[in-house]
């Protein structure tokens, strides 16, 4: 087999070119992420019981939902949190590799079975069931220099209306999660003393507001009649002004007057909740996290988001500025730059070392061709195994560069040594030298693979890390070994010249290099 590759160097060259092209195509199609997706899929169930404390929420909301969800398919464990502001959050975690969409559907079906056991206020407020994306690639927001004019409430609503819809339309963005619930809401601050004086309870006030604040379909007049026209009836619908709420009639007095909402409560157009406040350098800020979908290219997503941010700056109100608090593109760019820089340095060092010690420009071309084939060809197998370009695979490639260079240099140096000491023609010298070093190349490759490949079979989140690192390094080493047994000998037979007649005159033609080589040949 080795003789065929040496006698027919075109065969190994074509195979290497095909591998190089496949690796290059995979390089542009592989997803890019900061780290592999190691977090198990999770689904979050959120419920809200207005006015309830943590004990009431845990007893009347959390317990029925937990009992219904427990044991859902592929579930590993779940955690529940009930707070004094009336919120309940249930996080359900699933086995690694489970489909998050199917998991969310299964949890939703379980939650629907518990609806009849929940308080009516919780059902009316709505129960949210959604899959949680763990791959956060950016955290950004809006900040204001004038808190009196543009407070956190304004900033968050501006985000939800003008910015987040455009961010979510970017291909590869799974979710834009806003931190906080500072939505505009009509708040009713009840006055306990006024309620007691008029013999009212908060529930009676709530029922009166519901009766007056509703959407209705009044229909039309004249439909199906012989008249020429029919009239569509319009209803004002839900109230949206403070005065409308203030004038809601709560109770009719014995003297014919009405007790209105403004008599027992203060109406304010404010925030939905006041449980949290966000600040950056003392300035109000509203932030949101951007998650990427599995298999998407984080670098392309972040580049497009940065373009969108530049466009947002031209339309923002005066005094409002976008702020990027975390951007994983910085780490990705640094890692990619490190790989490219290491590859360039390796090429330069290989060129210098090979040229100095072999005094042949043709010899430097062989490692320069073999190394890219091994490195770029690795990307094809990364796509084959479903890996991504992340900090672990890039780190493995940085280490692989130093390893794959050695195989090509060993072959070139062995062929050179055989030709200069025996005077054999190029093809015979290549065959003879490869018969001597092939066993060493195969053995060192097997030893390196025996070190890294077993690590890749570890289970759990740590196993995902080690698997991508170990398999990337092992693949590059194996491709380099195959190149050393096929491509490098073929290139030696093609590029190297027959040195007969030159070796004896080498010392005369170049006295300096002769003395240098003589030092390396000294026996101590």
By DSSP bridging, strand 258-260 and strand 249-252 are antiparallel
pLDDT at 156 over 80: yes
Topology given in CATH for the domain delimited by 40-133? Alpha-Beta Plaits (3.30.70)
Residue pLDDT, tens place only, 218-245: 788 877 777 777 888 887 778 888 888 8
What confidence category does residue 63 fall into, taking pLDDT thresholds of 50, 70 and 90? Answer: very high
Q: Distances in Å between the alpha carbon of 22 and those of 310, 373, 484?
A: 36, 10, 20
Contact by Cβ (8 Å): 101, 255: no
DSSP state of 222: S
For domain 2-34+332-502+513-520, the CATH class is mainly alpha
* pLDDT at residue 68 in the model: 93
Residue pLDDT, tens place only, 416-454: 888 878 878 888 888 888 888 888 888 988 998 888 888
Which residues partner with 265 through β-bridges?
190
pLDDT at 36 over 70: yes
DSSP state of 159: I
Closest CA to 406 of 483, 518, 490: 483
Q: How far apart are the first and last CA of the chain?
A: 40
Comparing 60 with 36, which gets the higher pLDDT?
A: 60
Please report, for the chain, the start and end positions of each structural domain, with discontinuous segments joined by +.
2-34+332-502+513-520, 40-133, 185-271
Closest CA to 393 of 329, 333, 472: 472
Residue pLDDT, tens place only, 135-153: 788 888 889 888 888 888 8
**CA dihedral (402, 408, 409, 410) positive or negative:** positive
Pairwise CA distance, residues 359 & 334, whole Å: 36
Burial group, residue 479, by CB count within 10 angstroms (0-12, 13-18, 19+): buried
Pairwise CA distance, residues 365 & 362, whole Å: 5
Contact by Cβ (8 Å): 419, 496: yes
Percentage of the residues of the chain whose pLDDT score is greater than 90: 13
Is the pTM of the predicted complex or chain greater than 0.75? no
Percentage of the residues of the chain whose pLDDT score is greater than 70: 91
DSSP state of 275: S
Residue 21 neighbours by CB under 8 Å, 6+ apart: none
For the chain, the average pLDDT equals 82
Residue pLDDT, tens place only, 105-126: 999 999 999 998 999 888 988 8
Pairwise CA distance, residues 358 & 411, whole Å: 12
Domain 185-271 has CATH 3.30.2090.10: yes
* pLDDT at residue 468 in the model: 87
What confidence category does residue 10 fall into, taking pLDDT thresholds of 50, 70 and 90? Answer: low
The most confident of the ranges 3-7, 69-73, 298-302, 336-340 is 69-73
* pLDDT at residue 105 in the model: 92
What confidence category does residue 6 fall into, taking pLDDT thresholds of 50, 70 and 90? Answer: low
């Amino acid at each position: 087999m080795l003789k065929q590759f040496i006698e027919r160097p075109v065969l190994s060259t074509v195979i290497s070119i095909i591998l190089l092209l496949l690796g290059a195509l995979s390089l542009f199609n592989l997803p890019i992420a900061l780290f592999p997706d190691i977090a198990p899929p999770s689904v979050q169930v959120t419920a809200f019981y207005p006015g309830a404390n943590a004990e009431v929420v845990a007893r009347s909301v959390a317990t029925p939902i937990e009992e219904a969800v427990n044991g859902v398919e592929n579930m590993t464990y779940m955690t529940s949190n009930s707070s004094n502001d009336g919120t309940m959050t249930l996080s359900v975690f699933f086995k690694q590799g489970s489909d998050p969409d199917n998991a969310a559907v299964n949890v939703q079906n379980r939650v629907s079975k518990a609806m009849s056991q929940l308080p009516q206020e919780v059902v009316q407020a709505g129960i949210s069931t959604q899959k949680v994306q763990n791959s956060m690639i950016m955290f950004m927001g809006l900040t204001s220099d004038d808190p009196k004019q543009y407070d956190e409430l304004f900033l968050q609503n501006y985000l939800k209306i003008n910015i987040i819809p455009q961010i979510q339309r970017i291909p590869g963005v799974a979710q834009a999660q806003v931190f906080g619930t500072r939505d505009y809401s009509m708040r009713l601050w009840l006055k306990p003393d006024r309620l007691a004086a008029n013999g009212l309870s908060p529930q009676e006030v709530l029922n009166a507001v519901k009766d007056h604040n509703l959407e209705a379909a009044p229909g039309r007049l004249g439909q199906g009649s012989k008249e020429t026209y029919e009239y569509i009836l319009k209803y004002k619908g839900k109230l949206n002004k403070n005065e409308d709420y203030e004038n809601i009639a709560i109770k009719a007095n014995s003297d014919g007057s009405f007790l209105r909402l403004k008599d027992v409560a203060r109406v304010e157009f404010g925030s939905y909740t006041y449980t949290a406040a966000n600040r950056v350098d003392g300035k109000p800020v509203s932030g949101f996290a951007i998650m990427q979908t599995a298999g998407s290219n984080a670098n392309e997503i972040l580049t497009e988001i940065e373009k969108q941010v530049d466009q947002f700056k031209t339309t923002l109100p005066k005094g409002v500025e976008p702020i990027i608090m975390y951007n994983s593109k910085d780490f990705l760019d640094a890692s990619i730059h490190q790989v490219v820089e290491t590859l360039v340095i390796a090429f330069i060092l290989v060129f210098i070392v090979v040229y100095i010690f072999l005094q042949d420009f043709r010899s430097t071309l062989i490692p320069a061709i073999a190394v890219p084939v091994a490195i770029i060809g690795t990307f094809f197998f990364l796509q084959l195994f479903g890996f991504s370009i992340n900090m672990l695979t890039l780190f493995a490639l940085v280490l692989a560069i130093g390893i794959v260079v050695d195989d090509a240099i060993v072959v070139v140096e062995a062929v050179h040594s055989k030709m200069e000491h025996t005077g054999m023609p190029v093809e015979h010298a290549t065959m003879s030298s490869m018969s001597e070093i092939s066993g060493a190349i195969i053995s060192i490759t097997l030893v390196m693979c025996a070190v890294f490949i077993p690590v890749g079979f570890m289970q759990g989140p740590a196993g995902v890390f080690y698997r991508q690192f170990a398999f990337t390094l092992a693949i590059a080493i194996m491709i380099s070994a195959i190149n050393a047994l096929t491509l490098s000998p073929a290139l030696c037979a093609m590029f190297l010249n027959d040195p007969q007649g030159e070796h004896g005159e080498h010392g005369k033609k170049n006295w300096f290099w002769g003395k240098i080589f003589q030092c390396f040949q000294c026996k101590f």
